[in-house]
Every structure is written in structure tokens, then in C-alpha cells.
A and B are shown apart, each in its own frame.
Chain A
Amino acid sequence: MKRLVIMDAERCVGCQLCMFACSRRLGFAGLDKSALHVKSVGGFERGFTVVVCRACIDPPCLRACPVDALRARDGGGVILDLSKCIGCRFCERACDIGAVFWDDSMNKPVICVHCGYCVGYCNFRVLGVEGMISR
């Protein structure tokens, strides 16, 4: 299974095209459906932090979910079952790197499915897709 990875965050210019791409993937224009986030490291001159899901093999977010709305994804990470999710935000808090984002309009988490759509819109080779051996 493939997995979204950061090749080199130092090359990031902060354009946010990846974030727009992720929301567009679902048919939206904007940022609140985006499963990755780019913010400056305290001012543009210091560069950018790119937060993406690391596709953990033993995901803390999964363990935190009280209603089993998250199940393990083949190759790491999780798959969200929206119909089970009660919007408690436990998964958001459980992710150490802050890669579980929140869709305020739906009150549900936004979690990367490692589809790689965003990679095609990063003009600076910050993002890449890595093949992973299935576990």
C-alpha cells in the first residue's frame, strides 16, 4: 500500500496547493476538508511545517476512538467510518503530531487516506508517495 510522505519540508514555499487539492479531492474548494496542514514556523522567513499523517502501524488515534469508527488501514494509518463517528475529538487529541484535522462544519475528523492526490500539486517536491509493504 502506498503512503504519503514528506520528502523535504525545507523546500516548502507555503503555497498550500496541497491543502486545496485535498479538499478538492472530495469535491470542495477551500481548506476545511484537508487532511494535511501547512503553517509557518513562526514567520514565513523561518520556513514551514508540513503536517501529514505518518500512517502509523499502531495508530494512537485508532486506540483512542471509543466507538470503533477508526479501523486499521492496510499499510498503516486508519480508515474513518463517518457513520460511527460521534465527533468526540478523542482521535484529534491522541495524534502526537497533530495530523488528525477537524472539519468544523461537519464536526468530524479529517484523516489522510494516503491517496496521493495532493502530491501532484506540489510543485516543489516536498511531498511524495512511498510504496509500503503490506503487513
Chain B
Amino acid sequence: MNQNNVLYVDLERKSFYVKNRSDLFNEWLGGVGVALQLYKEEAVKGSAPLSSGNVIVFAVGPLTALYPLASKVVAVFKSPLTGNYGESHAGGRSATAIRSAGYGAILIKGVSDRPIYLVISEKGVQFKDAATLWGMRSTFTAGRVLREASPGTGVRTIMRIGRAGEKLVRYACVVSETYRHFGRMGLGAVFGSKKLKALVIHGKSSMRMPKIKAYRDVYDEIYDLAVKSGSMKKYHELGTPMNILPINALGALPTRNLLEARFEGAENISGEDLAAKKLGRRVACSHCPVACIHLATIREPYPDEPYFYKTTFVSYDYELLYSLGSMLGISDINGLLKLMDEVEIGGLDAISTGVALAWATEAYKKGLIKLNDLVVDLDWGKADAYREAVKLIVDQPNEFYKALAMGVDHSSKIYGGRDFALSFGGNEMPGYHTGPASHIGYLIGSRHSHLDAAGYSIDQKMKGLSPEEMVDKLIEEEQWRQILSSLVICYFARGIYEPSIVKKALDVLGYEFDEERLKELGRCIYREKQALKASEGFRPSELRIPERIFEVPSFRGLIDKNYMKAALDHYSKIFNKIVATE
């Protein structure tokens, strides 16, 4: 279980080698810290995201498989959606599998001449033909075939793309273990461009722990916090959908392409309602005692056969209920679940898909798009029509859907409706219209996501911050999250992995990281990311703020343009300073 080993895979030459990179892991811990460096070493500078020069790096951290909740894998790549730095995290069994197969990171480069999938273990890489899997309609079916065909049951991850990835939808995702995703920023399309259908990674190696008593003690402390402390309760019980009603009550739940920020159907799509009526099973990522993954069941009769039903499981989270629910005005829960299922079948990022469809609906209603282009008559609340549209995004039968498959920023450049194209830095908007901090966060966050710095939390908790103070707060949070992401700790456990606990967990392994050194490393990784983004062409001055966010009151009231401008100016200064010194 040597976490310092990096597996280098070349898809073009169908070759691989393993190299000990303790130099990187000692300096950058693991996860995003290491992945970023590997990306910088191997990606061909300036190459297009879907060209052979792009690389994909997966990395886990020193705590993976050792402690609970160090359960994520960080993927770093160039995003085909934003055209710049791409980063995405997923759980499932991927983190344990990579570490137990004996690797700290896996780097994939080149393009295969034909569809393939890889089986990765301690022994190395097998390159398998994926001609039969390519083009399969459903990610579920592909997963099923791979499960049957591959070794390592119980100790493996199966990451795969759907047809959206094959057809290079710029926000296609990579699915792992059916219900977890490298969702954002289009990793699925990068897989597709490399003709890489899937990765099966399996292994079960272990490692003798040095200070076993200390290890067990720290383990128990973390475990107890995870199962007993209130901080995990919401994820444990209702899961992230418990946020639907509170966010809606704040007037911060984007509804119908953010024409409103309160959804009259919120009750129907709330975590409470779903748990009462639809929750069928809960599952967990490997080494997570919380089990936040909630699966709803839909039971449907077959129209052509009496007493014949099918039962489908659909995983639901806050982000999906927002993007495919309130954002599209859908409160019919069965319709919504079936829509989510279709997004899963095709292998799309749910947030980007929902935001793209919301923009398309409004643009259509405003006469910017013709029904002929749209093919289906989209209207708020009509889940069936949206389901057809999801298939069309995957299929791209005409110019309009080809454009929509590139994201709303791109589509609105062609068809108009820029003011209500809810994209930030090229990435579609997450589900929080809480106030200025959430939106500044989307704009300045390294991956233009609510996950970078959780601005929604600042909006809710802190009043009276100047624009400069707010930006500083966001950056400080993002910098600490670089440590969490280098240790690949699930963000839901950020309340558990406080600096003091992180230090203890690392101490057992012989790392000498005091809290200040950890924080300095976080700042350093943050600076590295900004510098990388600059070198790939990112300029804060080019950030576009969709007019729509100023038109609809947020939880913090109408957002002030001058405030936003001052915040971005402050960020620009910080960014430029970093770029000048790095």
C-alpha cells in the first residue's frame, strides 16, 4: 500500500510504468496538491482539453484507507467546459480501491486509437477492448457488464462514462459505483476524447501501522465524532436534501432559471418528503460511517402488460433537486426522479444539465429559440419534455443541441439570452442564491463551484462584511480546503477534520505538520492553482456576471453591483500579485 507510487498510463502506446514520487507526496501530501504537480509536469501546455495533450490525474491522500472519511479521489484535468483548470472529486469505492491497489496517484495521458477500458491492480494495467461497451445507452448497463467481467468484487471501483462522455458533451461526468460522480467540469468528455470508456481499479493490500495504539486512539476519536457529533447528523438522516426547505425559506433556492428564488413546490421535493415517500435505501462510500447517499425508488407499471412493474433506484441530493427540480419548476416527484434517472443513464453533470435546460426554456419563451430547433416543447414543470431534451443533449441531432452540449455560456453567445445564462467562469451555477458571497465564490473559486469556498455559508452567517473582507474570507476558506482536498477528506466531514485532528492523524504516520505548516501549504496550493489558471489564459477582468442575479432578491436582498465590482477588483489585485510572484 505504497501511497508514494504513481502509475503512469499512456493510452496511445498502451503502456504503463510505476514510479516512486515520494518527492511529491512529502511536499504536497497527496490529493489535489500532488495531482496539480503531476498535471503541470505531464500536460502539454496550451493544448486543447479534448486533444491528446490533456492528461487526467487521479490522486488519493495519506489518510485514505487509514481513517474514516478520507474517502474522496481528486481528479485534475483541463476542463472542456471552461477551457481551463478542471478539478472534480468523487467517492464511492474509488479512493480505497486506488490506495489498496498500491497507488497514490494515477496519471493517464494520450489518446487510444479505439475504445478501451483499463483494469488496474497491483500488477499494473490491462488494456481491454471496449468496442462493445461503446455506444451503450445506459451507464447502468455498462456498469453491469464491467461488474460481471472484472475481478475484485467488493474491493474495486468501476468508473465509467455514458454516451454523453463518448459524444463529448462538455459537461459529461464520470460515474463511479453507479451513484457517485466526478460530476463537474466535464471529465466525462475528456475520457470520451481519449476513447476511454472505463477504469476498473481493484486491490486489497494493507499496511502495518507504526504506532498502533496511537493510531487506534485517533481512529476512534474521528469515528466517534463522525457517528455521534451533531455536525454529521444532517447528512446522516435526510442527507443533503434536508437543505431544500431551509434554503427555500431564506428565498435563496433558484427557481425557473432564477426568475424567482422561492419555489412553491419546495415541499414536494424536500428531503423530508422524499424520505417519507420515496427513500428506498441508503448507501455509503468506502470507509464512511455516515451513509449520506440516499436512493429513492420509483415503481412504474408497464403500460403494455398488466401486473408488471419495474423498480428503479435513483440517488438524490440537494444539487439535483435544485438543478433538475426547482430550476425547471418541477415539483412532480415521480417526474423529477425519472428525469434524474435519465441524466444518470446518459452520464451528464446534473447541475450543468439543469441550468442549460432552464436557460433553453427561458430563451424559447422569449423567442430566441424556435420550436423546430428545440424539437420538444419545453415548459416549466413538464418533466417528460425535459427528459426528452436530456436525450437530445446526448444525441445532439441538430445545431441547437450541439451548442447546448457545449454549455450555457457557449449557447447564449450564439442564441442570445446572455443576461440569464447562469454561468460563472464557464461553469453552470450551483443552487444557492444566498447573496453576494455565493456569487463571488462561483466567480473567483478555482473551479467556479460552490465547493471552492462555500460562499453560501458566509452569506448566511456573516453580516456587514466589506467586499474586501468577504473576498479575503472566501480565499481563506478555499486555502484550507486545499488541505482537505490534499488529504481527500470528504467536505461533509470538514467539521470533524479540524486542523488539530488533521495534525494528530498525520502525526501517527510520522508527518511533521503543525497547524501553521498545514495552513501555509494550503495557501501555497491555492497560489499554484491561480498561477496555473493564469498560464492557461484565465483573466479575472474577463469574468462575466449574469445580469439575472441582480434582478431577483437573494436572501441578503438585492445584490449590489458596486459591491460585486469592488469584490472582483480586490480579487484581481490578489490574483495579479500571485501571478507576478509565482
Pairwise interchain contact B207-A15, C-beta atoms closer than 8 A: no
Q: Tell me the smallest distance from the CB of A99 to a CB of chain B, in Å.
A: 13
Pairwise interchain contact A45-B281, C-beta atoms closer than 8 A: yes
Q: Take A43-B144, A121-B223 as given contacts and tell me if A15 and B284 are in contact as well, using a CB distance cutoff of 8 Å.
A: yes
Q: Tell me the smallest distance from the CB of A109 to a CB of chain B, in Å.
A: 14
Pairwise interchain contact A15-B291, C-beta atoms closer than 8 A: yes
Pairwise interchain contact B154-A30, C-beta atoms closer than 8 A: no
Pairwise interchain contact B206-A45, C-beta atoms closer than 8 A: no
Which chain A residue has the least Cβ–Cβ distance from B206? A30
Pairwise interchain contact A30-B100, C-beta atoms closer than 8 A: yes
Pairwise interchain contact A15-B1, C-beta atoms closer than 8 A: no
Pairwise interchain contact B178-A45, C-beta atoms closer than 8 A: yes
Q: Interface code B291-309, partner A: CB below 8 Å = 1, 0 otherwise? A: 1010100000000000000
Which chain A residue has the least Cβ–Cβ distance from B1? A30
Q: Give the total of A residues in contact with B, Cβ under 8 Å.
A: 29
Q: Which of B211-219, B361-369, B448-456 faces chain A?
A: B211-219
Q: Tell me the smallest distance from the CB of B324 to a CB of chain A, in Å.
A: 19
Q: Give the total of B residues in contact with A, Cβ under 8 Å.
A: 41
Contacts of A104 in B (CB 8 A): 204-205
- A108 contacts chain B at the CB level, 8 A cutoff: no
- A14 contacts chain B at the CB level, 8 A cutoff: yes
Q: In the assembly, what is the distance between CA of A38 and CA of B284, in Å? A: 12
- B104 contacts chain A at the CB level, 8 A cutoff: no
Q: In the assembly, what is the distance between CA of A55 and CA of B517, in Å? A: 50
Q: Tell me the smallest distance from the CB of B437 to a CB of chain A, in Å.
A: 34
- A113 contacts chain B at the CB level, 8 A cutoff: no
Q: Take A13-B282, A42-B147 as given contacts and tell me if A28 and B209 are in contact as well, using a CB distance cutoff of 8 Å.
A: yes
Contact of A123 among B100, B219, B227 (CB under 8 A): B227
Pairwise interchain contact B209-A124, C-beta atoms closer than 8 A: no
Contacts of B65 in A (CB 8 A): 20, 29-31
Which chain B residue has the least Cβ–Cβ distance from A101? B204
Interface centre among B177, B216, B289, by most chain A C-beta atoms within 10 angstroms, is B289
Pairwise interchain contact A20-B287, C-beta atoms closer than 8 A: yes
Which chain A residue has the least Cβ–Cβ distance from B99? A30
- B179 contacts chain A at the CB level, 8 A cutoff: yes
Pairwise interchain contact B227-A23, C-beta atoms closer than 8 A: no
Contact of A32 among B66, B153, B205 (CB under 8 A): B205
Contacts of A45 in B (CB 8 A): 178-179, 281, 295, 313
Q: Tell me the smallest distance from the CB of B461 to a CB of chain A, in Å.
A: 29
Contacts of B215 in A (CB 8 A): 24, 29
- A39 contacts chain B at the CB level, 8 A cutoff: yes
Contacts of A17 in B (CB 8 A): 68, 223, 287, 289
Contacts of B385 in A (CB 8 A): none
Contacts of B147 in A (CB 8 A): 42-43
Which chain B residue has the least Cβ–Cβ distance from A27? B212
- A114 contacts chain B at the CB level, 8 A cutoff: no
For the complex of A and B, 5 pairs with smallest distance between CB atoms:
A30-B206, A39-B154, A45-B313, A15-B284, A13-B291
Q: List 12 A-B contacts (CB under 8 A).
A: A13-B291, A15-B286, A24-B219, A27-B209, A29-B66, A30-B100, A38-B154, A43-B143, A45-B281, A104-B204, A104-B205, A121-B289
